[in-house]
C-alpha cells in the first residue's frame, strides 16, 4: 500500500531529475534512459499526477502556496490594504476550492472505473464479494477469540465486582479493572482478526484491503469496549451503575452515548480505511477531496441524530432547562465545521475543532476525577483521597490534553519545531514564543495546584471563623489555629512568587531581556521602601507578631481601643471582628501591646448581693451546688476547668452583703455559663427563701406626723431608677473607677 501511495511522488522526482540532467548535458543522455522516460510518461498514474500539478499551479493563490500576500514583507502588523488583500485571497481560495469540487464531480465515475479495472486485475480471480466474505470471516474469528477470553477471565471479572463502591480507592480499582479488562478483550479481538489474517500468505492488494478494514474494525470494537467500561450502560446489568461510572451521568445518558459513540466512530474508521486505500488505487487528490465531503456529510448526519435524540438531564427530579438551546448551539457548531470543510478552510477547521473538544475533554476529565475520587460513604467511615493526589491527577491529565492538542495543531498546520528553531522569521519566532508561553503557564498552574492542595490539606476542612457570640463558641485546636494563621500568608507569598517567576520566564521566552527589568525592579523597590516607611513598618511588625505567636486566627484579642476575634491577615494588617459585629482592619504597626484572651484559660470574677439576714454559709453551699451542676452540664462540660464557687464576702454594701464568686474556664466559655448561672441562682434562692435585695427609698418630712407614719410609701419608676443610679455611682466612685 505504501508503495502504491508513494509511487506518484517517486515518479515526479524522477521526472525532475531527468529534466535537470538533460538541461546540463543534452548530448550525453543515453537512449535507454530516454526510453525509460517515455515509459514513465505513458504510465496513467504519472499522467494523473502531472495533470493535478498543472491544475494546482494554474489556480494556486498566495494563501495556498504559503507565500506572503504582502510580497515577502516580514512586518507582522498588516496595513488596511494588506488586510483587504488577505481577505480577497481567502475568498479566492474558497472560490477555487469550490470550482475544483464542481470540476471533479463529472470525473469521478471514470476514476472509479479505472480503479475497478486495476483492482480486478490485481485480485485476479477474487472479486469484491470474496473480499467482503474474507473480512467478515476474520472479524468473526476475532469475536470468537474475544468470547473465549471472556470465559477464561471470569475470576478477574469477579474481582472487579468485589471491589467496594463506597470508597474512592474501590471505585478507582473498579474503573481501572474495567479498563484493563477492555484492553484484554481488545487485544484478543485484534489477534483473532488481524493477527490471524497475517499468518497466511495473501496477494498484495488483498492483504492491504483486508488488513486496513480489519484495523478499522479493531478501532470500532475498542471504542465500544472503552465506552462500556467508562459509561457502564444499563444492558451490562451492573448493580448501582450510577455510583461506579467514571462520569456523573444518568442511566439514560449512559445508554444513549454507549449506543451512538461506537457507531459514529465505526463509520469514521471505515471511511478512513477507504481513504487510505483509494489513493493507491488511482483516485487523485481532487477525487479524494470530493469523496471526503460525502463522508463528512454522513458523519454530520450521525452527529446531529445523536445530539437531537439525546435524553434530557434531570436534577433533583426536575428536568434541567437549556436542553433545546444547547442542542441548537451544538447543531450550529457542527454545521459550521462542515461548511469550513466544504470551503477548504482547513486551518480554521482544525482550530474550531480544537476550541470545542479540548475544553470539553478537560471539563469531562475534571468531573470524572472528582466524581470517582469523591469521599466515601458514612458506612465505610468516610474515607477520602488526599487533595494533592486529586490535584496532581487532574492537572496532569489537563497538561497532557493541552500539549497533545498543541502538537496536533502544529502537525496539521505544517509546523516543524526543528525548522522553527532554525528559521528566524518573525512568524516562526512568535509561534515559538507562544508555544513556550503555553508550556510555562501549564507548568506554573501544575505547581500552584499542588501547593494549594497541600496547604488545604494541612488546613483541613474549611469551617466558619469562630466568633464569640451569644449562642456558643466552638473550641479551636491550637495547632489548627496556628496553621490557619500562617499558611494563608505562605500561600499568598508562594502565589506571588510563582506568578512573578512565570511572567519573567514568559518574557524571556519571547526574547525580552529580563535582566534590566530585574535591576529596575530592585531600584524601584528601594525607592518604594524609602517612600513608604509606614508600609514597611507594618509588614515587619506583622512578621514579628507572627514569629512571637502573639495571636492566631479565631482568637479574641484586644489592643488599645480595638478588640475582637481575629478573622484573617494580609501582609500589612489584621482584621478583627468585634463581638457586636463591626470589623476592624488594623495595620500591624498600630497594634502595640496585644492582650490575648483566648490562650490556655481565663478566670472570671463577679459579685452577688444578698440581704443582711442571709445565712452566708448556706448561701455558699447553694452556690457551690449550682456550680457543680453546671460543670456536669453537657453544654458547658468541655469548657469548665474549675466550677463556679464563692470566695467569700467582698464587702457590706448599702443595701446588702456583696459575695465574691469566681469560675475558671477555657477561653470564651464563661459567657453562656454565667447567664445560666444567674437564672439558676435566682430560682434556687427563691426556693430557699434567700432574699436578693434591691434599692429602697424612705421619704420623710410630711406635715402630719400621724399621716407620715400610716401613709403608704409610693415610689414611681423614675424615682427608683434615679436612686439605683445614685447608688451605682457611689459604689464605682468608692472603687476608684468611672464608666
Give the pLDDT score at 542: 75
CATH of 463-596, one of 2.60.40.1080, 2.30.30.60, 3.90.170.10, 2.60.40.180: 2.30.30.60
CATH code 2.30.30.60 region(s) in the chain: 463-596
Give the pLDDT score at 529: 64
Examine the pLDDT at 18 and tell me if it is beyond 80: no
Give the pLDDT score at 204: 80
pLDDT (average), residues 287-307: 90
Give the pLDDT score at 713: 52
**Mean pLDDT score of the chain, rounded to an integer?**
75
The answer to whether the Cα torsion of 102, 104, 107, 113 is positive or negative is negative
Residue 546, beta-bridge partner list: none
pLDDT digits (tens, 9 = 90+) for 331-387: 999 999 999 888 888 888 888 898 899 889 989 988 988 888 888 877 766 777 777
pLDDT (average), residues 316-326: 67
Examine the pLDDT at 57 and tell me if it is beyond 70: no
Give the pLDDT score at 69: 34
CATH code 3.30.70.100 region(s) in the chain: 602-735
Cβ-based neighbour number of residue 245 at 10 Å: 25
Q: With bands split at pLDDT 50, 70 and 90, how would you rate the model's confidence at 416?
A: low
Q: Is 537 exposed, middle or buried (0-12, 13-18, 19+ CB in 10 A)?
A: middle
Q: Confirm if 594 and 560 have CB atoms less than 8 A apart.
A: no
Give the pLDDT score at 259: 93
Examine the pLDDT at 735 and tell me if it is beyond 90: no
Maximum Cα interatomic distance, the chain, rounded to a whole number of Å: 163
Grid coordinates representing 135 are 473480512
The better pLDDT of the pair 80, 108 is held by 108
pLDDT digits (tens, 9 = 90+) for 111-145: 777 777 766 666 655 666 777 888 888 889 999 99
Q: With bands split at pLDDT 50, 70 and 90, how would you rate the model's confidence at 644?
A: confident
Give the pLDDT score at 70: 34
pLDDT (average), residues 698-721: 56
Examine the pLDDT at 463 and tell me if it is beyond 80: no
Give the pLDDT score at 185: 93
Q: What percent of the chain has pLDDT over 70?
A: 70
Cβ-based neighbour number of residue 118 at 10 Å: 17
The DSSP H or E segment spanning 314 is strand 314-315
Q: How far is it, in rounded angstroms, from Cα 472 to Cα 466?
A: 9
Q: What percent of the chain has pLDDT over 90?
A: 12
CA-based radius of gyration for the chain: 43
pLDDT digits (tens, 9 = 90+) for 207-256: 888 889 899 999 999 999 999 999 989 888 888 888 888 888 888 999 99
Examine the pLDDT at 202 and tell me if it is beyond 50: yes
Q: Confirm if 553 and 561 have CB atoms less than 8 A apart.
A: no
The better pLDDT of the pair 429, 303 is held by 303
Terminus-to-terminus CA distance in the chain, angstroms?
101
Q: With bands split at pLDDT 50, 70 and 90, how would you rate the model's confidence at 330?
A: very high
The DSSP H or E segment spanning 643 is strand 640-652
Grid coordinates representing 75 are 512586518
pLDDT digits (tens, 9 = 90+) for 601-621: 777 788 888 888 888 888 888
Residues 6+ apart with CB under 8 A from 613: 691
CATH 3.30.70.100 fits domain 602-735: yes
Sheet holding 602-610, edge to edge: 602-610, 657-665, 640-652
Cβ-based neighbour number of residue 256 at 10 Å: 18
The residue written with cell numbers 474549611 in the block is 462
Q: How far is it, in rounded angstroms, from Cα 649 to Cα 652?
A: 8
Q: How far is it, in rounded angstroms, from Cα 92 to Cα 100?
A: 12
Grid coordinates representing 662 are 469566681
pLDDT digits (tens, 9 = 90+) for 146-192: 999 999 999 998 998 888 888 888 888 989 999 999 999 999 999 99
CA angle 293/295/297 to nearest 5° reads: 70
Give the pLDDT score at 19: 38
Count of positions (residues) in the chain: 739
Q: Confirm if 627 and 568 have CB atoms less than 8 A apart.
A: no
Instruction: Using alpha carbons, select from 589, 506, 595, 517 the residue that is nearest to residue 555.
Output: 595
CA 557 to chain centre: 38
Amino acid at each position: 500500500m505504501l508503495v502504491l501511495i508513494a509511487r506518484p511522488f517517486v515518479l515526479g522526482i524522477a521526472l525532475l531529475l531527468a529534466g535537470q540532467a538533460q538541461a546540463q548535458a543534452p548530448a550525453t543522455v543515453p537512449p535507454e534512459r530516454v526510453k525509460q522516460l517515455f515509459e514513465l510518461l505513458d504510465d496513467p498514474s504519472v499522467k494523473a499526477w502531472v495533470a493535478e500539478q498543472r491544475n494546482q499551479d494554474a489556480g494556486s493563490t498566495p494563501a495556498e502556496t504559503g507565500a506572503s500576500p504582502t510580497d515577502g514583507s516580514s512586518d507582522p502588523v498588516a496595513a488596511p490594504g494588506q488586510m483587504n488583500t488577505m481577505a480577497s485571497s481567502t475568498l479566492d481560495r474558497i472560490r477555487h476550492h469550490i470550482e475544483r469540487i464542481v470540476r471533479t464531480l463529472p470525473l469521478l465515475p471514470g476514476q472509479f472505473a479505472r480503479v475497478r479495472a486495476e483492482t480486478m486485475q490485481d485480485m485476479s480471480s477474487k472479486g469484491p464479494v470474496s473480499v467482503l466474505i474474507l473480512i467478515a470471516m476474520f472479524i468473526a474469528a476475532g469475536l470468537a477469540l474475544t468470547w473465549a477470553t471472556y470465559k477464561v477471565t471470569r475470576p478477574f471479572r469477579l474481582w472487579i465486582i468485589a471491589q467496594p463502591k463506597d470508597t474512592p480507592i474501590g471505585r478507582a480499582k473498579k474503573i481501572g479493572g474495567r479498563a484493563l479488562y477492555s484492553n484484554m478483550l481488545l487485544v484478543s479481538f485484534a489477534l483473532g482478526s488481524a493477527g490471524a489474517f497475517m499468518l497466511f500468505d495473501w496477494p498484495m492488494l488483498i492483504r492491504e484491503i483486508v488488513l486496513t478494514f480489519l484495523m478499522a474494525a479493531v478501532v470500532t470494537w475498542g471504542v465500544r469496549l472503552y465506552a462500556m467500561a467508562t459509561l457502564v450502560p444499563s444492558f451490562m446489568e451492573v448493580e448501582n451503575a450510577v455510583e461506579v461510572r467514571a462520569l456523573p451521568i444518568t442511566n439514560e445518558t449512559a445508554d444513549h452515548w454507549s449506543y451512538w459513540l461506537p457507531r459514529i466512530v465505526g463509520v469514521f474508521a471505515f471511511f478512513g480505511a477507504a481513504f487510505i486505500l483509494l489513493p493507491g488505487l488511482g483516485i487523485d487528490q481532487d477525487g479524494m477531496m470530493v469523496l471526503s465531503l460525502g463522508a463528512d456529510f454522513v458523519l454530520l448526519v450521525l452527529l446531529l441524530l445523536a445530539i437531537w435524540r439525546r435524553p434530557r438531564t434531570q436534577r433533583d427530579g426536575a428536568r434541567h432547562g437549556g436542553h433545546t438551546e444547547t442542542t441548537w448551539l451544538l447543531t450550529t457548531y457542527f454545521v459550521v465545521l462542515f461548511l469550513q470543510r466544504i470551503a477548504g478552510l482547513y486551518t480554521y477547521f482544525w482550530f474550531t475543532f480544537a476550541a470545542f473538544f479540548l475544553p470539553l475533554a478537560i471539563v469531562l476529565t475534571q468531573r470524572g476525577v472528582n466524581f470517582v475520587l469523591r469521599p466515601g460513604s458514612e458506612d465505610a467511615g468516610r474515607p477520602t483521597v488526599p487533595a494533592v493526589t486529586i490535584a496532581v491527577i487532574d492537572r496532569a491529565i489537563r497538561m497532557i490534553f493541552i500539549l497533545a492538542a498543541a502538537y496536533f495543531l502544529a502537525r496539521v498546520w505544517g509546523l516543524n519545531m526543528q525548522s522553527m528553531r532554525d528559521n528566524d522569521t518573525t512568524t516562526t519566532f512568535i509561534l515559538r514564543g507562544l508555544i513556550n508561553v503555553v508550556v510555562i503557564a501549564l507548568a506554573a498552574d501544575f505547581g500552584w495546584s499542588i501547593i494549594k492542595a497541600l496547604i488545604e490539606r494541612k488546613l483541613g476542612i474549611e469551617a466558619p471563623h469562630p466568633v464569640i457570640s451569644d449562642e456558643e463558641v466552638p473550641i479551636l485546636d491550637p495547632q489548627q489555629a496556628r496553621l490557619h494563621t500562617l499558611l494563608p500568608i505562605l500561600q499568598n507569598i508562594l502565589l506571588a512568587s510563582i506568578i512573578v517567576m512565570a511572567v519573567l520566564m514568559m518574557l524571556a521566552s519571547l526574547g525580552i531581556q529580563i535582566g534590566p527589568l530585574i535591576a529596575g525592579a530592585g531600584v524601584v523597590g528601594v525607592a518604594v521602601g524609602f517612600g513608604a516607611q509606614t508600609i514597611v513598618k507594618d509588614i515587619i511588625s506583622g512578621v514579628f507578631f507572627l514569629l512571637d505567636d502573639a495571636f492566631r486566627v479565631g482568637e479574641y484579642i484586644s489592643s488599645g481601643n480595638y478588640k475582637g476575634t481575629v478573622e484573617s491577615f494580609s501582609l500589612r494588617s489584621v482584621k478583627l471582628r468585634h463581638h457586636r459585629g463591626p470589623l476592624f482592619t488594623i495595620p500591624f504597626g498600630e497594634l502595640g501591646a496585644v492582650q490575648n484572651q483566648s490562650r490556655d484559660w481565663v478566670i472570671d470574677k463577679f459579685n452577688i448581693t444578698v440581704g443582711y439576714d442571709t445565712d452566708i454559709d448556706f448561701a455558699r453551699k447553694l452556690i457551690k451546688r449550682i456550680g457543680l451542676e453546671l460543670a456536669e452540664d453537657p453544654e458547658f462540660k468541655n469548657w469548665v476547668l474549675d466550677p463556679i464557687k464563692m470566695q467569700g464576702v467582698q464587702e457590706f454594701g448599702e443595701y446588702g452583703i456583696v459575695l465574691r464568686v469566681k469560675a475558671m474556664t477555657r477561653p470564651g466559655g464563661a459567657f453562656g455559663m454565667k447567664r445560666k448561672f444567674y437564672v439558676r441562682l435566682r430560682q434556687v434562692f427563691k426556693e430557699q427563701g434567700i432574699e436578693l435585695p434591691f434599692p429602697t427609698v424612705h421619704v420623710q418630712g410630711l406635715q402630719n406626723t400621724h399621716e407620715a407614719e400610716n401613709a403608704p410609701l409610693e415610689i414611681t419608676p423614675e424615682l427608683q431608677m434615679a436612686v439605683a443610679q445614685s447608688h451605682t455611682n457611689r459604689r464605682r466612685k468608692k472603687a476608684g473607677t468611672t464608666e
